Amino acid sequence: MFFSISSELDSRFPNNQQVGKLWVNHDPGWHQPTPDTFYKGYPENYCEIATHANGIEINHSKHRSFPLWYSDNFVTNLPLQTPLQSAWVDDHVTINNQGCVSTSKISIDLSVNPVQLSIDQAVQQIKTYLDTSVQQLNECNPVNLKLFCSGGVDTFLLYSLLSFHQVQFDLLQDEYFVVDSFTRTNQQALESFWGYKQIHHWPWFTWVATGSCGDEYMLRGPAIIAMLTSWHNIDFKQLLDKSTDKYHYHHFVKYNTLWQDSWNSRYQLREKYPTRELLNQQILNILLNDHQHWHLGKTITWTPFHNIEIVKILLRCNINDLLLQFTDGRLSKQLIIEYAPDVLEFISTYKNHNCREKLSDFFAWHNKF
């Protein structure tokens, strides 16, 4: 779902169409549902380039899944070495026929219900959102849906979710990436996004289920854990040192400087965000601007964890009830139990550490069905 809108043809893209005085440039996989619009994606993760008599506007799913940058006569989500200005997730971007780019603010609800939830209640509410995501996926009639199990919690949750709902998909044992003219020309720019170092790519229309946003939106990302624990006067490094058998241990010890710095600056954090409401708003703002997977060429990424309502549910839980989610992904594992409890035994012991240790047994188990 890469594109640019410019006053001149952008040769980085294989598809270029002049619209008035402007050029719409994009990667493969877009279509024109009307002569005035370019569209790619599905209702929960899409981009629409809408052309008008006075210029072009960029529309997207409720919470934009991709970054945007702009300068005079230019808007893109494929970075350049030339300095560009960021359009944040609450910026609606338009460019007129003279190439003037303007932004206007979109209202985004950053409120969190103050009524506390237990972990069991949170699991059931998140489950409802995940079930709805599968229903919406089925409505799209996905072509060639594929899933690559990495051995981690997020891809096994996807496997469990799809299996429970009897959605047909191909299970991949190996990574698959076909280089085409767009990915070859823009390899360096694409690799500037960490998520595009971990993505599959087919030259024909294919859907791939990804665990994108699973760490962050399930409150298992280091930056947000550091904020939450230090604000609540919890020394996460000390907790981690006692959690050597927990799922995140080996991955999180790489962030010891972050844990220590956050702990040392906890009083400044409380001064900056004196109420839990303000802290929650900042967390939501950070996560909404943390873009990970949109779409690449004719490969459509299904990203059910990219749902800010999941974060809002978890932020309603008591911080002490969330500690096992932080260290062990416990709530994520509870969701797997809801859908396919037998899968739990195949999750790697540690995140990103010998993660393929149980995969041969898993594939053997899967192939029995």
Distance of CA 234 to the CA centre of its chain: 27
**Residue 73 φ/ψ region, left for φ over 0, alpha for ψ in the -120 to 50 degree band, beta for the rest:** left
Q: Bridge partners of 319?
A: none
Q: Is residue 145 part of a domain?
A: yes
Kindly state the percentage of the chain with pLDDT values over 70. 100
Same domain assignment for residues 124 and 26: no
Same domain assignment for residues 195 and 59: no
Q: One-letter amino acid identity for 33?
A: P
Non-local (6+) Cβ contacts of 303 within 8 A are 44, 45, 65, 210, 212, 213, 292, 293
Same domain assignment for residues 27 and 175: no
**How do residues 55-71 score in pLDDT, each as one tens digit?**
999 999 999 999 999 99
How many structural domains compose the chain? 2
Q: Is residue 291 part of a domain?
A: yes
> Residue 206: helix, strand or coil by DSSP?
strand
Which of 123, 67, 131 is closest to 93 using CA atoms? 67
In the predicted model, is pLDDT for residue 197 greater than 90? no
Domain of 98 in residue numbering reads as 3-105
* Rounded Cα distance, 287 and 304, in Å: 15
For residues 293 and 267, which has the higher predicted lDDT (pLDDT)? 267
In the predicted model, is pLDDT for residue 188 greater than 90? yes
In the predicted model, is pLDDT for residue 326 greater than 90? yes
**How do residues 142-153 score in pLDDT, each as one tens digit?**
989 999 999 999
In the predicted model, is pLDDT for residue 91 greater than 90? yes
Q: What is the pLDDT of residue 11?
A: 96
**Mean pLDDT, residues 279-295:** 95
Residue 102: which H helix or E strand, with range? strand 101-105
Non-local (6+) Cβ contacts of 59 within 8 A are 47, 48, 49, 50
Q: How does 197-227 read in b/e, with b if 16+ C-beta sit within 10 Å?
A: eebbbbeeebbbbbbbbbbbbbbbbbebbbb
Where is the domain boundary, 46, 72, 105? Answer: 105
Sign of CA dihedral 243, 245, 250, 252: negative
Q: One-letter amino acid identity for 100?
A: C
Q: What is the pLDDT of residue 38?
A: 98
Q: What is the pLDDT of residue 8?
A: 94
* Rounded Cα distance, 221 and 172, in Å: 26
In the predicted model, is pLDDT for residue 79 greater than 90? no
Q: Is residue 112 part of a domain?
A: no
Same domain assignment for residues 132 and 97: no
In the predicted model, is pLDDT for residue 139 greater than 90? yes
Least confident of 12-16, 132-136, 192-196, 296-300: 192-196
Q: Is residue 344 part of a domain?
A: yes
Q: Is residue 114 part of a domain?
A: no
Same domain assignment for residues 97 and 143: no
Q: What is the pLDDT of residue 195?
A: 81
DSSP calls for 137-205? HHHT--SSEEEE--SSHHHHHHHHHHHHTT---EEESS--B---HHHHHTHHHHTTSGGGGS--B-SS-
In the predicted model, is pLDDT for residue 81 greater than 90? no
Q: Is residue 254 part of a domain?
A: yes
With cut-offs at 50, 70 and 90, classify the pLDDT of residue 48: very high
Q: What is the pLDDT of residue 194?
A: 82
How many C-beta atoms lie closer than 10 Å to residue 342's C-beta?
Answer: 11
**Mean pLDDT, residues 3-27:** 96
When the pLDDT of each residue in the chain is averaged and rounded to a whole number, the result is: 96
Q: One-letter amino acid identity for 11?
A: S
Same domain assignment for residues 186 and 241: yes
Same domain assignment for residues 78 and 149: no
Non-local (6+) Cβ contacts of 160 within 8 A are 335, 336, 338, 339, 340, 343
In the predicted model, is pLDDT for residue 293 greater than 90? no
In the predicted model, is pLDDT for residue 355 greater than 90? no
Same domain assignment for residues 187 and 251: yes
Where is the domain boundary, 76, 105, 134? Answer: 105
Same domain assignment for residues 84 and 143: no
Where is the domain boundary, 55, 73, 105? Answer: 105
Q: One-letter amino acid identity for 293?
A: H
**Mean pLDDT, residues 27-47:** 96
Same domain assignment for residues 41 and 185: no
**Mean pLDDT, residues 175-199:** 91
Q: What is the pLDDT of residue 226?
A: 98
Same domain assignment for residues 137 and 284: yes
- Cβ(2)–Cβ(78) under 8 Å? yes
| Angle made by CA atoms 124, 150, 197, in degrees to the nearest 5 | 110
In the predicted model, is pLDDT for residue 101 greater than 90? yes
In the predicted model, is pLDDT for residue 198 greater than 90? no
Same domain assignment for residues 99 and 147: no
Least confident of 70-79, 106-115, 192-201, 240-249: 192-201
